[in-house]
Amino acid sequence: MSDCIFCKIIAGEIPSDKLYEDDEIIVFRDINPQAPVHFLLVPKKHIAMPKDVSANDDKVMGKLFRVAAQVAAAENVADNYRIVLNNGAKSGQEVFHIHMHILGGKEKPWPI
Ligand code: 5GP
Ligand code: ZN
């Protein structure tokens, strides 16, 4: 998707503070952090939002949880993070390329 900001980050056309990358996903810090540790896990495949996940995406979506734990540990918030995936503009989704938020280092963070 040529007008997608996260596709541009994946392509290296827009810089990001990258924490992890492999052939399927990229992980980078949120530009506007809402917690002491706030990073995003993004499948490289352009999926617009959680409702668009298909059976083919089961593996990569599972990987997001595993790598989230790995990066959270590296960021010293292994036992203190909240996972958020927004689905749709009304829920607060602003970037329509699926992403998992990890909000770490906050106490009792509901609501953010
Ligand atoms: P959403 O509201 O769609 O769930 O979350 C989008 C997130 O992407 C927001 O937390 C916002 O701060 C972050 N974001 C938007 N543009 C950029 C960018 O260019 N770089 C980075 N690192 N984060 C971004
Ligand atoms: Zn995209």
Q: Which distant-in-sequence residues (6+ apart) come within 8 Å of 49 by Cβ?
A: 86, 87, 88, 93, 96, 98
pLDDT band at 1; cut points 50, 70, 90: low
Task: Quote the pLDDT of residue 2.
Answer: 74
Distance between CA 44 and CA 21 in Å, rounded? 10
At residue 58, φ and ψ (nearest 5 deg) are -55, -45
**pLDDT (tens digit per residue) in 7-57:** 999 999 999 999 999 999 999 999 999 999 999 999 999 999 999 999 999
For ligand 2, a single-atom ion, the residues with CB < 5 A are 1, 4, 6-7, 46, 97
pLDDT at 62: 98
Task: Report the nearest-CA residue for atom 4 of ligand 1.
Answer: 93
Give the mean pLDDT of 54-82. 98
Which residues pair with residue 43 across a beta bridge? 25
Tokens of 32: 């506007």
Which token pair is 96?
Answer: 């329509």
**Whole-structure pTM value:** 0.97
Provide mean pLDDT across the span 102-110. 87
Partners of 20 in beta bridges: 27
Q: Which atom of ligand 1 is nearest to the CA of 85?
A: 4
Q: Catalytic site residue 38?
A: no
What is the Cα Rg of the chain in Å?
13
Q: Which of 38, 97, 99, 101 is catalytic?
A: 99
